[in-house]
Amino acid sequence: MFNVGITDKCVNELHPMLRNIVVLTGAGVSAESGLRTFRADDGLWEEHRIEDVCTPAAFARDPRLVHQFYDARRTRAAEVEPNPAHHALARLEAEWEGDFLLVTQNVDSLHERAGSKRLIHMHGKLDSGWCLACGERFPWLGSMSPSGNICPLCKVEGQVRPDIVWFGEMPYEMDRIEAALMNADLFVSIGTSGAVYPAAGFVQTARYCGARTVEINLEPSLGSVFFDEARIGPAGVEVPKWVDEMLQSAQSSPMSS
C-alpha cells in the first residue's frame, strides 16, 4: 500500500471530528467481481462508442443496439457476486455511528446485494425500467429488447428504456448528494477514474466544505491532486483494511454526541 499524507496517528487524532462520511464508488469497485470497467484496456468503451450506446440520441437512432448493450450487461451483472470491498462498505454503514451515505456511479446491484442501504445510484440501475409512455419506473429483469418490451403498468409496447443516466442527462438525487457533500467530514472515492462530471467534481465540493478526502484506487485518478490521502491498490484488499481502521479508531475514541 502507498499511503500519502495522513499517518494512522493523524487519523486517530482527527477521528473525533470525522462523523459524517460520504463514499463515492465507480466501476473499479466491481472489477474484482468480474464486471468490466469503462476505460481499462479491456474496458466497455474499447468495444462501444459512447455516442452509439450511452446517449438519448443513440437510443432514438438505434434502440435495438442500445438494448443489446444493456441486456448483455444486465445478464452479466446477475451472474456475479459482491466482493470484499462491497461487503466492507456495507459493514461500515451498519457499524458507523455518524452519518453515512454511499453514492455509486455503478448501475449493477452489488452494493445492495452486499447489504448497503443508505445508497444512491446516481447513474441509474440495470434492473430498473423506465416507460416513456407513462413515465413510470419499475423493476426489470431480463431482456428489454423490442419483442418483450411491454410496460407492466400502462401496457404500451416498445416504450420501455433502460433506467440509466446517459451522457447529457441529469444524474439522480443531486440535491441529496450535494447536501451530504456539504455536511461531510470525510469524503472517500473508490474505484473511479474521475473522468465524468458531476461525479468527478464531488471531491472539490467536499474539500471546499472542509472535508478530509481519501482516494482508494488501482492508480491515481484524474482528480488525485484534490485528495489528502491516496491508497493505491485493489479495492477488494484496500477497502476492508480502511474500514477496519475506521471502526477500530471509532472504538478507541467513541464519538462525542
Beta carbon nearer to ligand BV8, 81 or 157: 81
Residue 20 — φ and ψ, nearest 5°?
-105, 120
Q: Is 15 a catalytic residue?
A: no
Contacts for 147 with CB less than 8 Å, ≥ 6 apart: none
- 123 binds ligand BV8, rule: CB under 6 A: yes
The answer to whether the Cα torsion of 231, 235, 118, 109 is positive or negative is: positive
CA–CA distance, 82 with 176 (Å, rounded to integer): 26
- 188 binds ligand BV8, rule: CB under 6 A: no
Instruction: Tell which positions 54-73 bind ligand BV8, by CB under 6 A.
Output: 54
- 186 binds ligand BV8, rule: CB under 6 A: no
* 3-state SS string for 88-150: HHHHHHHHCCCCEEEEECCCCCHHHHCCCCCEEECCEEEEEEEECCCCCEEECCCCCCHHHCE
Beta carbon nearer to ligand BV8, 79 or 175: 175
Angle between helix 235-252 and 84-95 (nearest 10): 20
Query: Which of 21, 77, 196, 211 forms a contact with ligand BV8 (CB under 6 A)?
Result: 196
The cell numbers describing 140, all together, are 426489470
Query: Which of 219, 248, 253, 254 forms a contact with ligand BV8 (CB under 6 A)?
Result: 219
The CB-nearest residue to ligand BV8 is 28
CA–CA distance, 53 with 166 (Å, rounded to integer): 9
Residue 45 — φ and ψ, nearest 5°?
-75, -5
Instruction: Tell which positions 129-158 bind ligand BV8, by CB under 6 A.
Output: none
- Which of these is catalytic: 15, 111, 121, 123? 123
CA–CA distance, 113 with 14 (Å, rounded to integer): 32
- 181 binds ligand BV8, rule: CB under 6 A: no
Beta carbon nearer to ligand BV8, 70 or 100: 70
Beta carbon nearer to ligand BV8, 192 or 205: 192
- 47 binds ligand BV8, rule: CB under 6 A: no
Q: What 3-state DSSP class applies to 161?
A: strand
Total residues binding ligand BV8 (CB under 6 A): 37
- Name the residue with cell 423490442: 146
Beta carbon nearer to ligand BV8, 59 or 100: 59
Query: Which of 184, 217, 227, 231 forms a contact with ligand BV8 (CB under 6 A)?
Result: 217
The residues that are catalytic are 123
Residues that bind ligand BV8 (CB under 6 A): 26-28, 31-32, 37-40, 43, 54, 105, 107, 123, 164-171, 174, 191-193, 195-199, 217-219, 221, 234-235
